[in-house]
Amino acid sequence: MSNLLIVILGPTGIGKTEIAIKVATELDTCIISADSRQIFRELNIGTAIPALSQLKQVQHYFIQHKSIHDYYSASIYEREVISLLKKIFTAKKKVVLAGGSGLYIDAVCEGIDDIPDVDPEIRNRVREKLINEGVNSLRNDLRFLDPESYKKVDLKNPKRIQRAVEICLSTGQPYSSFLTDKNKKRDFKVLKIGLNSEREVLYETICKRVEKMVKAGLVEEARELYQYRNLNSLNTVGYKELFDHFDGNFSLDKSIELIKRNTRRYAKRQLTWFHRDKNIHWFEPSDINKILELIHKKT
């Protein structure tokens, strides 16, 4: 029997954690998180870390194993997860990968280009420029350093522009020169299971989830992290809106409404990303029996 990676994916708030735990329990295996923010140990409430009781049910990996001060990327995640999978697959034939970070999931399943690590000094310099001069300044830098990337990159996404400029400056080569668009061969099979529901239901769930986070202490958590607000790891929905509140830009009620709105928009972007992949089998979160039936059929 071939080793099988079962990917549980979908938009934020859809219930991936609960389904992943049920699947992992049924298969007597573990869960690897594919959430680009749950990896940071200082972020708890705003990233919806699984409850302690859930973490005790099944062995989880890549939950709060890095600091917000650590540099991290999809490339590093790919290397670390592939290394871990090789160890796990010596004892278990099936492993669950669960999360909503499409780039991280693609990195494990198909591989991403081998992008060199960025010089920390250059990273800090580019970040300071973004903060002090704005994203348009970095757009101009990218247009000069790498016209090809400038034509293809999402110019409304500061993170992508920042990343491309960092690579150009660190390597002395265009960022586009490292992009091959070639999938890497994996020594395991992949089964992708997507969770989704009616948009109105999802959006209502998201709003209730944000309200639950606020009651659990999200504002207080964000206040403790406010001094680090310029870190890339904190450029995250749920924190940046509250940082704006602390800066006096919005009332608390307005910031909470913005968190709800921006989380809905993030969920929409996640679904747009996932719907490009025709290999995903889609289910409602309540379809656990159908999901397990498919998994057993594939194995």
Q: What is the pLDDT of residues 159-202, one digit of tens each?
A: 889 989 999 999 899 998 888 767 788 999 999 999 999 999 99
Q: Is CATH 3.90.1150.10 correct for 200-268?
A: no
For CA atoms 239, 130, 126, 246, give the dihedral sign: negative
Q: Is CATH 1.10.20.140 correct for 120-178?
A: yes
Query: Which amino acid is it at 108?
Result: V
Contact between 96 and 6 (Cβ < 8 Å): yes
Cα separation, 37 vs 39, whole angstroms? 5
Q: What is the pLDDT of residues 59-81, one digit of tens each?
A: 999 999 999 999 888 889 999 99
List the chain domain ranges. Answer: 4-114+183-197+273-298, 120-178, 200-268
Q: What is the pLDDT of residues 83-120, one digit of tens each?
A: 999 999 999 999 999 999 999 999 999 998 777 878 88
**In CATH, what is the architecture of 4-114+183-197+273-298?**
3-Layer(aba) Sandwich (3.40)
Sheet holding 189-195, edge to edge: 60-61, 31-33, 94-99, 4-9, 189-195, 280-283
**3-class state of residue 97 by DSSP:** strand
Contact between 248 and 76 (Cβ < 8 Å): no
